[in-house]
């Protein structure tokens, strides 16, 4: 950064009214518990604060990184030389007739699903137990069990990379695709979102949610295990309209569950999940992922694409 950090820190604190932390370890803000320091780190719980932080970074020529729950993020051991912003915008509002719900981007996806089911509202129960926040779920079009958040989005409040607040009433802007959206590539931040829901039978919804959670527990690590979930995207279907092919199935066939680099290990019950089993570095994770990827490429001629987002300088040789 060309401008002295002390000036940037004090100026940003004055603009937001929130404390700005220097050299904040991003390992504390990712589910992998991996990552070097961010030059500047700030939390913001109001739309205007998020907009002011992005406007400040844009005006100063500082790169900005949005960190929600950090469940789909791997940060370089070298950290991030910019402003890391954690939006914590809350609030859940049920629309008239139970046909919509508007929610702050900082709300946990699992908490939103629980609230909707308690209200007897259907539409997002596929995401029961899914980690992360609403903002991240939209940016990455998170989904499971045949559903995705982009399928239910009606409208959103978006903050562009320069801090401009935009109200979007046309979800086609997001260009949702499998595990991606336009917002993830523009530097914009989702502040609030409105989803379509409908009245349903609460007991039936509870049964569906319980089944989803039980399935996740069978295949995924327990809460508290340091992981970012599935590392690679599933493959396109072999025929139009078919189901995607599980990357984990190919990884299983090449013996990925026995692979390890340092403290980065493949989860014993799911070959597409990497776990930080101790003090794994980002280099360890990247090296293990490349080892897994190469094994599938050599055996099946298929090149797996990472679902996990990597941020910061990549280590040499990887």
pLDDT tens, position by position, 136-189:
999 999 998 889 999 999 999 999 999 999 999 999 999 999 999 999 888 899
Q: List, by residue range, all CATH 3.90.78.10 domains of the chain.
A: 222-311
pLDDT over 60 (residue 314): yes
User: Which single residue is written with the structure tokens 């980065």?
Assistant: 264
* Residue 145 neighbours by CB distance under 10 Å: 15
State in words which class domain 92-206 has: alpha beta
Model confidence at 240, in pLDDT bands (50, 70, 90)? confident
pLDDT over 80 (residue 315): yes
State in words which class domain 222-311 has: alpha beta
For the chain, the distance separating the N- and C-terminal CA atoms, rounded to the nearest angstrom, is: 26
3-state SS of the chain? CCCCHHHHHHHHHHHHCCCEEEEEEHHHHCCCCCCCEEEEEEEECCHHHHHHHHHHHHHHCCCEEECCCCCCEEECCCCEEEEEEEECCCCEEECHHHCEEEEECCCEHHHHHHHHHHCCEECCHHHCCCCCEHHHHHHCCCEECCEEHHHCEEEEEEECCCCCEEEECCHHHHCCECCECHHHHCCCEEEEEEEECEECCHHHHHHHHHHHHHHHHHHCCCCCCCEEEECECCECCCCCCCCCECHHHHHHHCCHHHCEECCEEECCCCCCEEEECCCCCHHHHHHHHHHHHHHHHHHHCCCCCECCEEECCCCCCC
Give the pLDDT of residue 273: 98
User: Which single residue is written with the structure tokens 């508007």?
Assistant: 102
Instruction: Answer yes or no: are the C-beta atoms of 203 and 102 closer than 8 Å.
Output: no
Q: Please compute the mean of the pLDDT values over residues 224-237 and round it to a whole number.
A: 94
Instruction: Answer yes or no: are the C-beta atoms of 136 and 72 closer than 8 Å.
Output: yes
State in words which class domain 5-87 has: alpha beta
Give the pLDDT of residue 5: 59
Q: List, by residue range, all CATH 3.30.43.10 domains of the chain.
A: 5-87
Model confidence at 118, in pLDDT bands (50, 70, 90)? very high
For the record, the structure tokens of 131 come out as: 């980690």
pLDDT over 70 (residue 35): yes
Give the pLDDT of residue 239: 80
Model confidence at 4, in pLDDT bands (50, 70, 90)? low
Q: Please report, rounded to a whole number, the percentage of residues in the chain having pLDDT higher than 90.
A: 86
Q: Please compute the mean of the pLDDT values over residues 85-103 and round it to a whole number.
A: 96
Model confidence at 289, in pLDDT bands (50, 70, 90)? very high
Catalytic residues: 179, 230, 307
Instruction: Answer yes or no: are the C-beta atoms of 154 and 195 closer than 8 Å.
Output: yes
Q: List, by residue range, all CATH 3.30.465.10 domains of the chain.
A: 92-206
Give the pLDDT of residue 1: 56
């Amino acid at each position: 950064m060309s401008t002295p950090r002390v000036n940037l820190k004090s100026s940003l604190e004055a603009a937001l009214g929130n404390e700005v932390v220097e050299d904040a370890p991003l390992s504390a803000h990712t589910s992998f518990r991996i990552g070097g320091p961010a030059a500047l780190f700030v939390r913001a719980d109001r739309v205007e604060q998020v907009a002011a932080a992005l406007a400040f970074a844009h005006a100063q020529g500082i790169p900005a990184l949005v960190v929600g729950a950090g469940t789909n993020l791997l940060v370089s051991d070298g950290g991030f030389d910019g402003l890391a912003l954690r939006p914590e915008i809350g609030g859940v509002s049920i629309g008239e007739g139970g046909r919509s719900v508007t929610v702050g981007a900082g709300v946990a996806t699992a908490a939103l699903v629980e609230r909707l089911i308690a209200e007897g509202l259907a539409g997002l129960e596929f995401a029961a137990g899914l980690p992360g926040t609403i903002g991240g779920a939209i940016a990455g079009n998170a989904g499971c069990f045949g559903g995705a958040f982009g399928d239910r989005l009606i409208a959103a409040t978006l903050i562009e990379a320069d801090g401009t607040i935009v109200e979007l009433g046309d979800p086609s802007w997001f260009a949702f695709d499998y595990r991606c959206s336009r917002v993830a590539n523009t530097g914009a931040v989702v502040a609030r979102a409105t989803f379509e829901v409908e009245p349903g039978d609460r007991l039936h919804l509870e049964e569906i949610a319980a089944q989803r959670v039980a399935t996740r527990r069978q295949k995924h690590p327990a809460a508290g295990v340091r992981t970012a979930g599935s590392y690679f995207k599933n493959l396109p279907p072999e025929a139009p309209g078919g189901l995607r092919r599980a990357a984990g199935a190919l990884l299983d066939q090449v013996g990925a569950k026995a692979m390890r680099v340092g403290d980065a290990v493949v989860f014993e019950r799911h070959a597409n999940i990497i776990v930080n089993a101790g003090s794994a570095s980002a280099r360890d994770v990247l090296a293990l992922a490349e080892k897994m990827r190469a094994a599938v490429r050599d055996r099946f001629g298929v090149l797996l694409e990472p679902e996990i987002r990597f941020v910061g300088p990549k280590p040499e040789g990887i």
